[in-house]
Amino acid sequence: MIILVEPDGVADAERHLRGLGLWTRRFASGASVALSVSSSSTAVPLSAIRAVRGVVAVLEADSPHPLLDAMPRVVRVGAVLVGGDQPVVCAGPCSVESEGQIDRLAGAVAAHGGHILRGGVWKPRTSPHGFQGVGAEGLAWLVAAARRHGLAVMTEVVSERDVDRVAAVVDAIQVGARSMHSQALLRAVGAANKPVVLKRAFSASLEEWLLAGEALLMAGAAGVIFCERGVRGPDGGARNVLDVGAIAVLRHAWGLPVLVDPSHAAGRKDIVIPLARAGLAAGAVGVVIEVHDRPAEALSDAPQAVDPALLAGLVR
């Protein structure tokens, strides 16, 4: 339940509502102030809530994620509409490795019909011995490459510390699979008021994934785009199990924008394009694909990096 209150009377209204046994949390909702009420709060008659001074409206929601339900279905990332009529192609290397590498790959992504450039500068690696990314320096290379080749740009943040400097220059912020459960990071990223691409954690249920999206919106995100990148499951010969059922539910039951990342699901280049097509067939509004023109030199996720030429014609 969401309770809209007069900006002047928020503290009083909050005190009264808490006195009734309702757990409330304050967040900004346009010009007014809204209080969200936990569904596990005591059942209080609506008439009693409406009678509290300062309460303007009570929005009942039977869904646990009312903000997601009300979110516009098309999310703008720079000049790119995600969830509109045209499926989007987001592509780039797993990691930004050098100024020359990201510029070459941005050129290749643009030449083969891509819309959004991706590339990690801080890499959340499973092994602490693996390449951890070039850091903040790479952010400037990534953004310059995207702008030079007319692409929108997104990158992942792994720390609250970096949110502001990333938000200042990119079109969308990625929250990675390993960070989906980090409430502190979700709050910090949401507060940047940017569109967010939210990857699904390795074993997250649909509900957990949706509620992480709700947390981003509650903190102020300008829109949430979900990204299915494969989950833990039995060994099917791929790195992860691409959950096309989850893509279909998000898109067809909830109407939400969802991308498919076949690269991290596959972990091997030979099945990246077939899995991309499976995700699109299930309802994905676009793809996120890792590409490299010199895979032998790639510093992370080399086995799944495909030739950028394979992007051509994928979504038409």
Q: Which residues bind ligand PEP (CB under 6 A)?
A: 94, 120, 124, 176-178, 199, 229, 264
16 touches which of ligand PEP, Mn ion, none (CB within 5 to 8 A by kind)?
A: none
Interface with Mn ion, residue 94, by CB under 5 A: yes
User: What distance in Å separates the CA atoms of residue 38 and residue 59, rounded to the nearest whole number?
Assistant: 13
Residue 176: name its binding partner from Mn ion, ligand PEP, none (Cβ under 5 to 8 Å by kind).
ligand PEP
Judged by beta carbon, residue 214 or residue 301, the one nearer Mn ion is: 301
Residue 298 interacts with which of ligand PEP, Mn ion, none, CB < 5 to 8 Å by class = none
Residue 180 Cβ, how far from ligand PEP at the closest point, in Å? 8
> By CB under 5 A, is residue 217 in contact with Mn ion?
no
Residue nearer to Mn ion on the CB measure, 24 or 300:
300
Supply the minimum distance, in Å, between the C-beta of residue 24 and Mn ion. 40
To ligand PEP, the closest distance from the beta carbon of 8 in angstroms equals: 43
279 contact choice in ligand PEP, Mn ion, none (CB below 5 to 8 Å, kind-dependent): none
β-partners of residue 34 are: 4, 27
The residues near 3 (Cβ < 8 Å, ≥ 6 apart) are 13, 17, 24, 34, 35, 36, 37, 49, 55, 57, 58, 59
Shortest Å, Cβ 124 to ligand PEP? 6
| Binding partner of 199, given Mn ion, ligand PEP, none, CB within 5-8 angstroms per partner class | ligand PEP
Partner in contact with 67, chosen from ligand PEP, Mn ion, none, beta carbon below 5 to 8 Å by kind: none
Name the one range near Mn ion by CB under 5 A: 8-16, 92-100, 136-144, 196-204.
92-100
Min CB(130)–ligand PEP separation in Å: 11
Contact status: 301 vs Mn ion (CB under 5 A): yes
Contact partner, 114, from ligand PEP, Mn ion, none, Cβ < 5-8 Å per class: none
Which residue is nearest to ligand PEP, using beta carbons?
A: 176
Nearest CB to ligand PEP, comparing residues 30 and 128? 128
Shortest distance in whole angstroms from residue 229 CB to ligand PEP: 4
Minimum distance from residue 157 beta carbon to ligand PEP (Å) = 11
Question: What does the H/E/C string look like for the chain?
Answer: CEEEECHHHHHHHHHHHHHCCCCEEEEEECCEEEEEECCCCCCCCHHHHHCCCCEEEEECCCCCCHHHHHCCCCEEECCEEECCCCCEEEEECCECCCHHHHHHHHHHHHHCCCCEEECECCCCCCCCCCCCCCCHHHHHHHHHHHHHCCCEEEEECCCHHHHHHHHCCCCEEEECHHHCCCHHHHHHHHCCCCEEEEECCCCCCHHHHHHHHHHHHHHCCCEEEEEECCECCCCCCCCCECCHHHHHHHHHHCCCCEEECHHHHHCCHHHHHHHHHHHHHHCCCEEEEEECCCHHHCCCCHHHCECHHHHCCCCC
Residues that bind Mn ion (CB under 5 A): 94, 301
